Chains A and B, each alone.
Chain A
Amino acid sequence: MSTGRIIGVILLSAFITFGLRALPFVIFKGDRELPVKVQLLGKRLPPAIMSVLIVYCLKDVRTSFMENGIWELVAVLVVAVSYKWKHNTFVSILLGTVVYMLLLAFT
């Protein structure tokens, strides 16, 4: 592929991605008040999306259960239990990630 074409394909991808990110701003442009429904949806989406993102991170657990899926679940449990106990974000992230990496390395 020529340099020009590579740059072109990257720019095209950038354009599409930015367009998708900007779409809600284009639909509700200017400073006019957002419809109440959209405001409310915007407020309720984050907790729902957080669930979707967790499922996204664990999407391969089922298909690779015996290799690392099971360790992912163990590490999630470590994070959840330690966070419930101490409520310290960094301790829980560190603990969960280290446990997961060790489990991967030694199995």
Chain B
Amino acid sequence: MRNAVTIASTLLLLFVVQAASNSLQAASIEAPQLAQVKPATFRYWAAGEFTRAGKPVDAPQVEVRIRRLFSIMVHQVTVGEYRRCVADNACAPLADDSAKDNLPAVMVSWRDAQSYAAWLSRKLGAHYRLPTDEEWTYAAGSRAPDESPLGVGDAISRWVARYNRESKLQPSDPTPQPIGSFGANENGLLDIAGNVWEWTDTCFTRSVIEDGKPRAVTTNCGVRIAEGRHRAYISDFIRDARGGGCAVGLPPSNLGFRLVRDSKPYWWF
């Protein structure tokens, strides 16, 4: 009994100490605005590439279950917010020094986003991270891009059909706009699928479909998914995808990010 009390009070003490140090740290930086996302099940066009019997096929639509309550930033990380991380020497400087504070931070690589998430987690005593592609797609709601099959036969026709689809969606003005310029979706999130593509944590995966079920066979975590008007697969160190990446694709106009906060406390990890 005594041991249990000792353990309990030690844990309580730890919790109090952590909470106190959190509030000390939090005094120096505001917590971001978050929207809560409840656990849910939804249909999702799987990411990556798929083959069946050795032939490339369209991605299947799968059921995804979001198991945990999580919160997602209402808007993309801004220039002003990102600069705090740079000032703390925890993030690499932004390419554009003179960008205004209320613009989304762009020309940011997946690695930059990781640095920022780690720094913010330390500062606020909570676990911030990039969303998975499923989480982002669910939170994006009606603004999630159309990744449905292109309804054509062979891989080459699919290539051209994808090019046509992306051509129609390409933002007419790629200049970053002040937060909120692209409006809110039904979940209260701002600027989803505007002209900034947002990094997710999800790696590029190649899967085979056997007995109707996808099974991942290769994963390349040097390439991550960036979501916006269409799904893009970008190397994790790239800050500016417009140079093309491939000779023939329609690259993201800008690369930025927003973070998710897990409901588990920071010290749980």
* A and B associate in one complex: no
Interface residues of A (CB under 8 A from B): none
Interface residues of B (CB under 8 A from A): none
